[in-house]
Structure 1
Amino acid sequence: MPQTPSGATLVPTELETKTFSVSALLDAIRKGRVRIPHFQRGFRWNDEDRRLLFDSLQSGFPIGTLLLARGEAPAAHIMLGGFAATVPQTPDALWVVDGQQRLVTLAMALLEDHSGAYRPLFFDLEANRFVTGPRRRSAPPYWVPTHVLSSSAVLNKWLRETAISAELSDRADAIASRLREYAVPAYLIPYDGQNDQLLQEIFARVNQRGRALEKHEVFQALHSSVMGGKGPIDRVRDELVQLGFGELDGSQIEKAAIAVAGGDPRKPLQDQVNGKPVAELLERTSKSLALTVEFLSGDAGVPHVSWLPYAGVIPALARFLSIHPSPHPRNRELLVRWFWRGTLTREHRTDNYIDLPKWRAIDQDEHGSVQRLLKLLSPVTEEDLPSALQPLVGGRSARRSTEYISLASLEPKVLAGEALGQDVPLASLIDHQLGFFEVEPIPGSDRTIASILLHPTDIPLDPFLLTGLAEPLLASHGLDEPSLRAWAAGDTQAFISLRSAQLLSHLRRFLTDAAGLHTRDQDRQPLDAYFAEEGA
């Protein structure tokens, strides 16, 4: 008999081999059969990893074998990517041992029109390939959102509304069928709660790829999931990590729950539940925080929670989105103004006495809630905009985060290597604390963001080679021909001076636009609101 490294004898188990179509996997996810263990390693793929999975599905390439432990699972609130649901107890759940990244990617792209902090995926019908799309700009009419491809009815409706050519319609039908029918191989391990030692050994061996998990980590992952070993706030945090926005603090989640419940920010959650079902409240909070993450990354332009200037926006947004999960596009635009104006005036800092009026301003009246939030803020003018880049000294600050976000708004691209022209995976680099490329600073001078390119450090950058790149690629890092020439000539002082001027100008434009400082609409509410008033 085989033995574990500790000398324990392993009793062989029956491994069942099976194939699942992508459509069957999606159905199992919807019904709550697929469960992701709550261990610390969350979703790790970046946007290009996600795109390549779908490219493999299109090409018919193998995507690897899933390893699933089949056994009982309790009723629970689950989240896979942007898909969230409260699901019943099931006797034949499929606990994911190996394949988490692939399954979360499928759920994120095919089940919901929500991608968290990740870029949405589309199928470009003209180019006949999968692409990552823009967050804040409209996609071309011949780009099909991937969630549309998962359902024949939804796809047919989309094709009727889009009115594209018959040739492109046929191509859309073909790729949708190919995706839904793609067969994914899987190993199924029986799990009855008794063969812990065997599973522990299998998990340890499977997880030798990449950064291997310790045996106790792997087993505890499954064990704690089935037995409910984590607290509700920890479970919410684990769910939200899948969205690619980083890990929220437990205190942020607790405060968001208080806001969603309409409680008092000055008191802890435990003192305010009064026997109410905490699990139900945390499920609502998880859903609203997922929408909050999507708003912060997709609308406000914040790529990662660690770059959030002020955390005080999280509970207010969670409350608003728990009541109004699909706000009017105009109100989303006004909330972006609210976000950035409050950042400039420092009124989004965490402060119980500032939070309370914000939370009370939010009620069932969507348009009125947004207008009241805007009116709570102090006026903002051009005088509140930065007049110089801030030195990179000391710890994290709201101002530094704002400057980094303005750099991210340029949508930086990879400037060299095989990934040339692809989006820099900002959130992934931040999550892994890999840092960004930095031009050698001038001795004796203060460092600013002018010496930093939001670019992977493991891809060398040679200014001589960059001079031949297309202007849009260079502009994605705030580079132009004069600054690049200075860098290539070794004149760091001139490079920093030229890029400082360019980045400061961009920072001021970014904040002016985001805060709506030059708009003449006086924060007008949606026209729908006026029609509603007339009809009342």
Structure 2
Amino acid sequence: MTMGTAGLETQPSATTYELGDLVAQAWSGKVHVPHFQRDFRWTTKDVLRLFDSIVKGYPIGNLLLWVRRTPERSFTLGSLRIDAPAYEEAFWVVDGQQRITSLANALHPEGHLHDPFAVYYDLAERKFISQPKTREPQHVALPILFDLKRLLAWFRTEGEAVLHLFDEADRVATALRQYKVPAYLVRQDDLDVLTDIFDRMNNYGKRLNRAEIFSALYAGPEDGAEERLNLSRIADRLASRTGFGTIDTDTILASILARRGPDPARDIRNEFTSAGRRTAPEFENEDQDTAYAEGEEALVRAISFLQNEAGVPHLSLLAYRALLVVLTRFFAHFPAPEANTLRLLRRLYWRVAVSGPAVFKGSFTQVSRVLCARIRKGDEHGSVRGLMDTMAEAPRSLPTVERFRTNEAAAKIILSAWWSLRPRSLMTGEPYDAQDLSTLLGDQKTAATAAHVIFPRGLTAQQQLYAGNRIFLPTATDPVSEIPVMLMRQPIDLDDRTWDAVLASHVMNREATGLLADGDREGFLHIRQELIAGQLSDFLDRMAEWDYEDTPSLETLDFDNLDELEGGDDHSL
């Protein structure tokens, strides 16, 4: 990327605002957040620390505000819906969105009603707290504390019992209203210059992730932003279309980049321009909107493959997200692969899942780079053979069943193996389906809420981690706190055959549950660990097919060449 010397026509001006004036301007609609900014991400803890810093007189950082003429518009700021009049000089927040949004909402009577802005001040303990479950007389809401008239009225009514704490309330209220917030004002009409400033501030400081920087660089004009696709919107649409869960925007970005070129970790600053690119995009003359739309469709096909062919129903069971990036590239170039190609891709997924990044001698970024480079436009068979070749030396192995943590690949592989059994309800005997799983897990990153602990107490630390101490129940209705009791008692309306099927769907048998009924937890865990290891081995043998030759389909063989080789001496007959 070439760097010229052109920049701001005038240097930013430095100023300060009293907090009271700043939030009043935000409420009036003079403060806006550009659409290229990341979504609000602060938690209640972050908001509490902000107000604690203010009252202690600590610096909270400079704001960077873009001053520009702004027409009348309606927008949301955090939880506030604001109808803003036209301003000759409105402030657009380039840096400081999380701080301004928190201040404007937590101090506003309406914004304060929503998390994470429901902040109170404990006059007795002299500290900010999140909304208490039980309100005590000394708990005063920030919008009341911030408004002197409302504060005086509060002490005459609700706060009458803590009138002796008025001086503390007055001290904090004054500190809030008079706190000086430093700001730089930038007057510049060129959006490219503004996003360059945004990029430098947030990329060099490493405060934003790659997807957020990308979204800022290619945000486009403010007009029409609500209708255009962006990375976050694609993530939401994918979750709705597939039930796979909400994919993080970094993975969405890597997938879109992988579709357009073999290196998903390449420089993002020249993605939609020809200048400075080392290689041409594989989909020529494609604009950004098309790249986003086609990237979403390729992701849908890759997710469909994972759910229907590879046996991975939800994002929380995906061993490595780098594999989704690779699959997106493959299905972008080959939307309808042959049946044998799908079978080889299934083998690839499970061999990489079991082996991990060690085979590639690097990080997961290296996994996606190596595998994506094997996928060549226009050559389905060569591409899948190239992918399989990367795993030719991978050792056959089995994930441990002695350490089950839902955020680790081994547990995700085990859960996928269990899902292949179509786990059944311990109460009704009915199998759960993908909709049950999707509804329960939603956008959760792990399957912790579906992988229930059987014995929360009474085991050694090592036994607590056993896969045998977990059961896969994607239910929001069954009494999961009573799992041991349910396992010991066959429901009276389920016959023996059905109950055996229920137990088998959870990698159990009557011998194991008999030991459980006898109070022999160790015996139960021992048998179940063996059953789980055996079922896992069978599942991976079936999915990874280590004993099979990774050969192309018959359709790819050139039988004319084979005839020439085998029948070369036919003339002598």
Q: Which of the five TM-score ranges fits, normalised by the shorter chain?
A: 0.5 to 0.7
Letter in 2 for 1:322: A
CA drift at 1:527:
0.9
Which of 288, 305, 316 is the equivalent residue of 1:306?
316
CA drift at 1:335:
0.5
Gaps of 5+ in 2: 1-38, 41-82, 84-113, 116-221, 275-285, 564-573
Q: Is the 8 A contact 1:312 1:350 kept in 2?
A: no
Larger radius of gyration between Structure 1 and Structure 2: 2
Q: Does 1:236 align with 2:234?
A: yes
Q: Does 1:484 align with 2:513?
A: yes
Q: Distance in 1 between matches of 2:546 and 2:323?
A: 20
CA drift at 1:258:
0.9
Q: Deviation string for 1:387-429 (max 9, x for gaps)?
A: x413235x72111211221111211122214x73454722322
Per the alignment, residue 443 of structure 1 pairs with 459
Per the alignment, residue 475 of structure 1 pairs with 504
Q: Does 1:397 align with 2:397?
A: no
Q: Distance in 1 between matches of 2:559 and 2:363?
A: 35
1:313–1:422 distance in 2 versus 1, CA, 3 Å: closer
SS of the residue 1:478 aligns to: coil
Q: Distance in 1 between matches of 2:249 and 2:312?
A: 20
Q: Distance in 2 between matches of 1:369 and 1:320?
A: 8
Q: Is the 8 A contact 1:340 1:511 kept in 2?
A: yes
Letter in 1 for 2:371: K
Q: Is the 8 A contact 2:235 2:246 kept in 1?
A: yes
Letter in 2 for 1:390: E
Per the alignment, residue 153 of structure 1 pairs with none
CA drift at 1:282:
0.9
Q: Deviation string for 1:103-126 (max 9, x for gaps)?
A: xxxxxxxxxxxxxxxxxxxxxxxx
Per the alignment, residue 84 of structure 1 pairs with none
Q: Is the 8 A contact 2:452 2:470 kept in 1?
A: yes
Per the alignment, residue 245 of structure 2 pairs with 246
Per the alignment, residue 365 of structure 1 pairs with 379
What does 1:124-523 correspond to in 2, within 5 Å?
Answer: 228=226, 232-242=230-240, 243-274=242-273, 277-347=287-357, 351-363=364-376, 364-382=378-396, 384-386=397-399, 388-392=400-404, 396-417=407-428, 420-423=430-433, 425-431=436-442, 434-441=449-456, 442-446=458-462, 447-455=465-473, 456=475, 458-460=477-479, 461=483, 462-466=486-490, 468=496, 469-519=498-548, 522-523=549-550
Per the alignment, residue 163 of structure 2 pairs with none
1:354–1:449 distance in 2 versus 1, CA, 3 Å: closer
Letter in 2 for 1:443: L
Q: Distance in 1 between matches of 2:352 and 2:433?
A: 29
Q: Deviation string for 1:67-99 (max 9, x for gaps)?
A: xxxxxxxxxxxxxxxxxxxxxxxxxxxxxxxxx
Q: Deviation string for 1:196-242 (max 9, x for gaps)?
A: xxxxxxxxxxxxxxxxx99xxxxxxxxx9986266521221121011
Q: Is the 8 A contact 1:345 1:378 kept in 2?
A: no
Higher mean C-alpha deviation, range 423-432 or range 482-491: 423-432
Q: Distance in 1 between matches of 2:476 and 2:290?
A: 44
Letter in 1 for 2:472: L
1:284–1:329 distance in 2 versus 1, CA, 3 Å: same
Gaps of 5+ in 1: 1-38, 41-192, 194-212, 215-223
1:378–1:525 distance in 2 versus 1, CA, 3 Å: closer
SS of the residue 1:301 aligns to: coil
1:375–1:274 distance in 2 versus 1, CA, 3 Å: same
Q: Is the 8 A contact 1:345 1:380 kept in 2?
A: yes
Q: Is the 8 A contact 2:229 2:293 kept in 1?
A: no
Q: Distance in 2 between matches of 1:504 and 1:306?
A: 21
Q: Distance in 2 between matches of 1:400 and 1:294?
A: 22
Per the alignment, residue 36 of structure 2 pairs with none
CA drift at 1:431:
2.0
1:344–1:225 distance in 2 versus 1, CA, 3 Å: farther
What percent identity do the matched residue pairs reach?
22
SS of the residue 2:289 aligns to: helix
Per the alignment, residue 96 of structure 1 pairs with none
Larger RCO (CA under 8 A, 6+ residues apart): 1
SS of the residue 2:321 aligns to: coil
What does 1:13-24 correspond to in 2, within 5 Å?
Answer: none
Q: Is the 8 A contact 2:468 2:525 kept in 1?
A: yes
CA drift at 1:322:
0.7
Q: Is the 8 A contact 1:381 1:517 kept in 2?
A: no
CA drift at 1:339:
0.8
SS of the residue 1:271 aligns to: coil
Q: Is the 8 A contact 1:390 1:399 kept in 2?
A: no
The number of equivalent residue pairs is 314
Per the alignment, residue 128 of structure 2 pairs with none
Q: Deviation string for 1:338-389 (max 9, x for gaps)?
A: 111112221388544443332221121111110000101252344x223x41
TM-score for both structures, normalised by structure 1: 0.53
1:357–1:423 distance in 2 versus 1, CA, 3 Å: closer
